[in-house]
Amino acid sequence: MSFTGKYELQSQENFEPFMKALGLPDDQIQKGKDLKSISEIVQDGKKFKITVTTGSKVLQNEFTIGEECEMEMLTGEKVKAVVHMEGNNKLIANLKGLKSVTELNGDTITHTMTMGDLTYKRIGKRI
């Protein structure tokens, strides 16, 4: 299954508490919570390029499955991570105490981030 495509955020759970726990300032959290973000994924075999545009903020990460890479976090901090693929529709990464799981089912993409006992979930639809 190819992840390639554009996905528009449909819903999210626990945005504010999760962003607070990450250390984002309140004004950024308030601005970001109502913006519809668009995620664009380009997959070429094991290579991925993911661009998430939320208002004027653009977060872009590139990685190859199974190889260490540098990822930019929502806070702007850069961390080293290895992304693994489970089955043919799930991407899993551990970044500095945060577990990120992206799962594609048909035209729905679900991105779940877990830090301690706090979970943030985003659901997007292919557009």
Q: What pLDDT was estimated at residue 77? A: 87
Based on the structure, what is the number of domains in the chain? 1
User: Rg of the chain's alpha carbons, rounded to an integer?
Assistant: 14
CB pairs under 8 A, 24+ apart, for 91-96?
A: 91/3, 91/48, 91/65, 95/71
Find the mean pLDDT for residues 77-96.
94
Cβ proximity of 124 and 109 under 8 Å: yes
Q: What pLDDT was estimated at residue 28? A: 85
Give the pLDDT confidence of 27-59 residue by residue, as tens digits. 888 888 888 899 999 999 999 999 999 888 899
Residue 122: C-alpha distances to residues 48, 58, 105 (Å): 19, 17, 14
- pLDDT-above-90 percentage for the chain: 77
Q: pTM (2 decimals)?
A: 0.90
Find the mean pLDDT for residues 47-72.
93
Find the mean pLDDT for residues 100-105.
97
Q: What pLDDT was estimated at residue 73? A: 84
Instruction: Kindly report the CATH number assigned to the domain that includes residue 63.
Output: 2.40.128.20
Residue 7 confidence (pLDDT) above 80? yes
The domain in which residue 65 lies consists of 5-124
Find the mean pLDDT for residues 55-69.
93
CA neighbor of 64 nearest in space, from 53, 77, 50: 50
pLDDT band at 76 (very low <50, low <70, confident <90, very high): confident
Q: What pLDDT was estimated at residue 75? A: 79
Residue 1 confidence (pLDDT) above 80? no
